[in-house]
Amino acid sequence: MRIVVKVGTSTLAHPNGLLNIRRVEELCKVLSDLKNAGNDMILVSSGAIGMGVGKLHLNSRPRDVASKQAAAAVGQCELMYTYDKLFSEYNHTVAQLLITGSDFESKDRYDNFINTMNKLLEFSTLPIVNENDTVATEEIKVGDNDTLSAMVAVSIHADLLILLSDIDGLFTADPHKDRDATLISVVSEITDDIKKLAGDKGTTLGTGGMKTKIHAAEISTANGCDMIIANGSDPKILYDILDGKSVGTRFLKKRV
């Protein structure tokens, strides 16, 4: 299988922006194992800005563009350094791909991205994608990695997109506010009612939220790729998913 896994900042970092070492170590171990089992694994990783915030000892995520871009430049190094180190322990070579929305709009750049990605997979590397936050301004950026990961999954014809989040999946109501909220395990069609279930608040360090996840599901399922939202607090959940267990919320691809 060709699997794209997206991890959000809230999964990778503590609330203060510093690396959640135990979580990231476990994530790299599980991804390495799934790759050893013969799967093509592609990671879409957030965390550049969040980790930059931690490393620069800023009190909170900055609001102005230049500071966010500077934080991303610092944090992206930290991220890739960490991934390179941890995946090396399992003999896997990582590759960094930083892209923006405009790269998907230009045919040449889109083709180049796909060619590079295919070559990296042929070389048996583990590609790690993030938005190129240091140059991506409002007009050209995708803006959130949920959407970006769906665009990546579709472009390389992935079999499955998994969004690891700080929530178990999509609920019938906000589980933080409503004790009767239940997890929806399968969504076969993204109706207006499903879209209404998504609030739009993310965490303080990340950018996403359920709204961007539903948007990602729309892109992914419309283009032949199932998508799962699952809780990334224990990355071993990826084993359950590949074992076919019902985990989180699965959005089924549209049948044609």
Cβ atoms of residues 159 and 4 within 8 Å: no
> Which residues on adjacent β-strands are paired with residue 131?
99
Interacting positions 58-77 with ligand GLU (CB under 6 A): 72
Listed in order, strand segments (DSSP E) in the chain are: 2-7, 40-45, 94-99, 126-131, 160-165, 186-187, 226-231, 249-251
**Based on CB atoms, which residue is closest to ligand GLU, 208 or 232?**
208
Site for ligand GLU contains 78 (CB under 6 A) = no
Rounded to the nearest angstrom, the gap between the alpha carbon of residue 217 and the centroid of all alpha carbons in its chain is 12
Site for ligand GLU contains 40 (CB under 6 A) = no
Site for ligand GLU contains 82 (CB under 6 A) = no
DSSP element (H, E) containing 239: helix 237-242
Euclidean distance between CA atoms 174 and 41, whole angstroms: 31
Structure tokens at 16: 């203060």
**Based on CB atoms, which residue is closest to ligand GLU, 26 or 131?**
131
Euclidean distance between CA atoms 236 and 234, whole angstroms: 5
Site for ligand GLU contains 54 (CB under 6 A) = no
Considering only 32, 82, 100, 145, the residue that binds ligand GLU (CB under 6 A) is 145
Please tell me what DSSP assigns to residue 99: E
**Based on CB atoms, which residue is closest to ligand GLU, 62 or 224?**
62
- Choose one: 125-133, 188-196, 213-221, 238-246; the region binding ligand GLU (CB under 6 A): 125-133
Euclidean distance between CA atoms 76 and 185, whole angstroms: 34
DSSP element (H, E) containing 155: helix 145-155
Task: Count the site residues for ligand GLU by CB under 6 A.
Answer: 16
Q: Is 234 helix (H, G, I), strand (E, B) or coil?
A: coil
Considering only 3, 9, 70, 151, the residue that binds ligand GLU (CB under 6 A) is 9
Site for ligand GLU contains 165 (CB under 6 A) = no
Site mask for ligand GLU (CB under 6 A), range 188-207, x = bound: ------------------xx
Cα distance from N-terminal residue to C-terminal residue, the chain: 21
Considering only 13, 17, 34, 46, the residue that binds ligand GLU (CB under 6 A) is 46
**Based on CB atoms, which residue is closest to ligand GLU, 134 or 185?**
134
Considering only 17, 47, 127, 235, the residue that binds ligand GLU (CB under 6 A) is 47
Site for ligand GLU contains 17 (CB under 6 A) = no
- Choose one: 127-135, 187-195, 215-223, 236-244; the region binding ligand GLU (CB under 6 A): 127-135
- Closest to 202 (Cα-Cα) out of 2, 49, 32, 35: 49
Residues of the shown chain interacting with ligand GLU in the complex, contacts defined by CB under 6 A: 8-9, 46-50, 72, 130-131, 133, 144-145, 206-208
